[in-house]
Chain A
Amino acid sequence: EDKVVQSPLSLVVHEGDTVTLNCSYEVTNFRSLLWYKQEKKAPTFLFMLTSSGIEKKSGRLSSILDKKELSSILNITATQTGDSAIYLCAVPRGSQGNLIFGKGTKLSVKP
């Protein structure tokens, strides 16, 4: 059965800390892995990763895929309170791209 597992499920840090969020997956015909940030209700797209070892970066956020280990990490450096959110990892299944999500990592950044 296709699945996505994220760890940790929750994390509390202080402003300025660096965090690493983990995602592992099992899916038939892997094509890509996606990271979303969910504040309040609507998840918003962060990254799509398709190739191993190539880092995607956006400001203080970066992510990398390891196809050999069937995993990905999301790094956030110099965390800010505005980074507090649930971070979701997902992989598409099927030809239409139906996303299978992990349970998410709830990140809380304290001032």
Chain B
Amino acid sequence: GAGVSQSPRYKVAKRGQDVALRCDPISGHVSLFWYQQALGQGPEFLTYFQNEAQLDKSGLPSDRFFAERPEGSVSTLKIQRTQQEDSAVYLCASSLWLAVNTGELFFGEGSRLTVL
């Protein structure tokens, strides 16, 4: 596709419900990042994939958060037993190679999760 696509754009979940957020990166992009952006804050790193390998998951806030990218393209961020503090916009970003070399990450529009 032309850009990074995320779905759903909006998700309302009841506390305790499981949710899955999808990211379809730009075709051919090797690196994929997930960020969490709370209201009034900058994006905070969650996890990073290089192709299908999850090389860094240090930002995942708890073991309720799980991400995968099984074929090195589409990625899914899963949140189990959602809590109110999980309410945020979840941004996915991709880059052609290592972002540190070019600096440019291409971001999707994000998935806004509201946990009631």
Contacts and interface: CB of A to CB of B under 8 A. Distances in A.
Contacts of A6: 42
Nearest to A102: B42
A31 interface: yes
Contacts of B106: 45
B32 to A, nearest CB: 10
Interface residues of A, number: 26
Contacts of A94: 56, 100
Interface residues of B, number: 32
A32 B41 CA distance: 21
Interface stretch (A11-19, A34-42, A64-72): A34-42
Interface in A63-111: 88, 90, 92, 94-104
Interface of A: 4, 6, 31-32, 34, 40-45, 48, 88, 90, 92, 94-104
